[in-house]
């Protein structure tokens, strides 16, 4: 389950940024997770309490925002929504595309106290 290592990485980021801000804890953390990132959000939420125990995130509210995947076709240059990374362009059926968003895994915001 790689979600545990992801959660521990988020804890490390939060602790570093909280220290930089001269704060002692985090009230809320906002994450952006792309639909193509490979992160299972249910698994991340399952391991979250264990990963944050004893850290600055222990009592923080976790807010996860899902970023839908979008791509631009390299043949017809039109943008389209992706459900799977291997989807073809719905306009010209080309598989050549540039993924514009949907692979994110980002700490968007921390509210510290």
Reported as a single tens digit per residue, the pLDDT across 14-39 is 999 999 999 999 999 999 999 999 99
| Residue given tokens 């994450």 in the structure block | 31
Backbone angles phi, psi at 56, to 5 degrees: -65, -15
Q: Which domains can be identified in the chain, with CATH numbers? A: 2-112 (3.30.2320.80)
pTM exceeds 0.85 for this model = yes
Backbone angles phi, psi at 94, to 5 degrees: -75, 145
49-69 pLDDT tens trace: 999 999 999 999 999 999 999
Query: Rounded to whole angstroms, how far apart are CA atoms 90 and 74?
Result: 13
């Amino acid at each position: 389950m790689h979600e545990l290592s992801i959660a521990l990485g988020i804890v490390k980021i939060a602790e570093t940024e909280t220290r930089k801000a001269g704060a002692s804890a985090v009230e809320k953390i906002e994450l952006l997770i792309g639909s193509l990132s490979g992160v299972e959000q249910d698994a991340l939420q399952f391991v979250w309490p264990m990963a944050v125990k004893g850290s600055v995130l222990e009592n923080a509210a976790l807010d996860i925002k899902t970023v839908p995947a979008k791509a631009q076709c390299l043949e017809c240059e039109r943008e389209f929504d992706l459900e799977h990374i291997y989807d073809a362009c719905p306009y010209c059926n080309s598989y050549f595309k540039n993924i514009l968003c949907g692979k994110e895994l980002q700490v968007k915001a921390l509210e510290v106290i």
